[in-house]
């Protein structure tokens, strides 16, 4: 199992949770944990996503999220949870 | 329902599976509702999601959005509630259960009818009533009249065969532990409701009283028939006695005759609800699953943790 941490920030508007979670679902990921808040009209979201199979689905998610960045104006980052816990740099 | 809520709280609980956040947020997006806060977590095999949603800029009414969110929740096999943010803040202290098809399996009147040999006739009337096609009072009067002459010994046999719904014992037990006042408010019969209350340790019973003469049912009632309006009146009476506000009351039921009660209480839960009920309940559950119901009511540790992390002050922002 692979776990990713996804963060998304940007100007708030309706549909941002939907766009990002749709990409996760389409790539075959499962949301294990998530927090989202709007502060001063800024959208801030963090999401812990698990994949049963590493490799292709993760690549697919990264590609889908690139598209979502363009569509929504969000800044989206993807981190390997394992790497974060080891104090390493983001995989992306 | 009076004032228009500008913020709602969506709670969804059920078996963890991909797509829960995606599907619920899609419905909100479709109607341009804005999600202000989300807290979601898989706890073991259970997934719980709580969202604070601003619906003031939505292209449909808050009620419309509530309906669609509840539909999606049910389709995903989740327990789901959609409440006005203001109502959500009230801690719940009292729970009123319907009896038939909620605390006990099946419709007890059908079992009596079988014993009296008038099952087909009675069942027909029951179904029409539960779907809201004929008046509750008329339906009940007609059915009870069909039971005329049934000996009490037969009624007793039916009583002994009553099956408490799976999960009901645990649920009532946990709620009592949490300090809840408990009640059965039913259009069903006192002979059974008292029995169920005794088994489950329920504090109050409001039920219809069957008239008995010379050891047989007369086919009539003792006193007035409890109408759907009377069910809400009963809840008000209990809450007044206990010094509990109506917003602090939970009601749970399945039939058309529960609608007024569900709407009048702080949190109305449609349990395995008939079509006529779905629209009027704040919450829908398909099973009396302990964890799901407790989380929807806000009693369980899981839901309290989630709500805490959602931020106590968050509901008052702006």
Residue B2 resides in a domain:
yes
- Name the pLDDT band for B3 (thresholds 50, 70, 90): low
CA angle centred on B171, ends B166 and B177, rounded to 5°? 150
pLDDT of B316 over the 50 cut: no
Across the interface, of B18, B25, B39, the residue whose CB is closest to A30 is B18
B110-167: pLDDT as tens digits: 999 999 999 999 988 878 877 778 887 888 899 999 999 999 999 999 999 999 988 8
User: What integer pLDDT is reported at residue B309 of this predicted model?
Assistant: 59
Nearest CA in chain B to A45: B38
In this prediction, residue A89 carries a pLDDT of 59
Asked if B26's CB is within 8 angstroms of A18's CB, the reply is yes
Please report the pLDDT score of residue B255 as a whole number: 83
Model ipTM?
0.90
B178-212 burial, b at 16+ Cβ within 10 Å, e below that, comes to: eebbbbbbbbbbbbbbebbbeebebebbbbbebeb
Positive/negative CA dihedral, B65, B70, B76, B80: positive
pLDDT of B310:
57
pLDDT for the residue B301: 60
Does some domain include residue B193?
Answer: no
Q: Which residue range forms the structural domain that includes residue B65?
A: 1-89+298-318
| Rounded Cα distance, A12 and A32, in Å | 23
Is A68 touching B (CB cutoff 8 A)?
Answer: no
Q: What would the pLDDT profile of B56-110 be if each residue is shown by its tens digit?
A: 999 999 889 999 999 999 999 999 999 888 777 678 999 999 999 899 988 888 9
Task: Give the tens place of pLDDT for each residue, B235-278.
Answer: 999 999 999 999 999 999 988 889 999 999 999 999 988 888 88
How far is residue B41's CA from residue B24's CA, in Å, rounded to a whole number? 15
Name chain A contacts of B34, Cβ cutoff 8 Å.
12-14, 38
Judged by CB atoms closer than 8 Å, whether chains meet at A34 and B25 is answered as: no
Cβ contact B20–A17 (<8 Å) = no
A26-29: long-range contacts, CB 8 A cutoff, minimum separation 24: A26/A60, A26/A64, A27/A51, A27/A57, A27/A58, A27/A60, A27/A61, A27/A64, A28/A52, A28/A53, A28/A57, A28/A60, A28/B18, A29/A4, A29/A57, A29/A61, A29/B18
**Contact flag A13-B42 (C-beta cutoff 8 Å):** no
CATH code of the domain covering residue B69: 3.30.70.260
Q: How confident is the model at residue B44 (pLDDT cuts 50, 70, 90)?
A: confident
Among B7, B14, B16, B22, most A C-beta atoms within 10 A, so best to mutate, is: B22
**Residue B249 maps to a domain:** no
- For chain A, list the domains and their CATH numbers: 2-82 (3.30.70.260)
């Amino acid at each position: 199992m692979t776990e990713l941490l996804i963060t998304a920030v940007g100007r708030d508007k309706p549909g941002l949770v939907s766009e990002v979670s749709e990409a996760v679902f389409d790539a075959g990921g499962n949301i294990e944990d998530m927090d989202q808040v709007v502060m001063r009209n800024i959208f801030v979201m963090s999401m812990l996503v698990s994949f049963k199979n590493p490799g292709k689905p993760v690549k697919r998610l990264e590609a889908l999220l690139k598209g979502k960045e363009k569509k929504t104006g969000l800044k989206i980052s993807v981190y390997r949870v394992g790497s974060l816990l080891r104090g390493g740099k983001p995989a992306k | 329902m009076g004032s228009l809520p500008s913020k709602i709280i969506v709670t969804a609980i059920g078996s963890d599976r991909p797509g829960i956040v995606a599907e619920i947020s899609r419905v909100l997006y479709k109607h341009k509702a804005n999600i202000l806060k989300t807290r979601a977590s898989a706890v073991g095999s259970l997934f719980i999601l709580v969202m604070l949603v601003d619906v003031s800029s939505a292209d449909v009414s808050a009620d419309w959005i509530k309906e669609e969110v509840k539909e999606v929740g049910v389709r995903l096999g989740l327990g789901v509630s959609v409440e006005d943010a203001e109502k959500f803040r009230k801690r719940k202290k009292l729970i009123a259960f319907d009896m038939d098809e909620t605390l006990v399996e099946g419709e007890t009147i059908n079992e009596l009818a079988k014993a009296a040999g008038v099952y087909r006739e009675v069942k027909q009337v029951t179904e029409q009533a539960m779907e809201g096609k004929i008046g509750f009072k008329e339906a009940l009067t007609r059915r009870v009249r069909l039971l005329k002459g049934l000996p009490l010994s037969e009624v007793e046999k039916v009583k002994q065969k009553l099956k408490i719904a799976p999960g009901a014992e645990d649920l009532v037990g946990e709620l009592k532990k949490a300090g809840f006042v408990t009640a059965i408010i039913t259009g069903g019969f006192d002979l059974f409701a008292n029995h169920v209350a005794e088994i489950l340790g329920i504090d109050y019973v409001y039920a219809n009283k069957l008239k008995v003469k010379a050891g047989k049912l007369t086919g009539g009632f003792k006193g007035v028939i409890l109408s759907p309006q009377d069910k809400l009146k009963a809840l008000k009476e209990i809450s007044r006695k206990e010094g509990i506000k109506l917003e602090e009351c939970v009601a749970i039921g399945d039939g058309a005759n529960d609608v007024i009660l569900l709407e009048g209480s702080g949190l109305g839960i449609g349990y395995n609800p008939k079509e006529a009920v779905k629209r009027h309940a704040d919450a829908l559950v398909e099973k009396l699953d302990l964890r799901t119901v407790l989380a929807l009511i806000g009693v369980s540790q899981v839901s309290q943790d989630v709500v805490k992390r959602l931020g106590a002050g968050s509901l008052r922002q702006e």
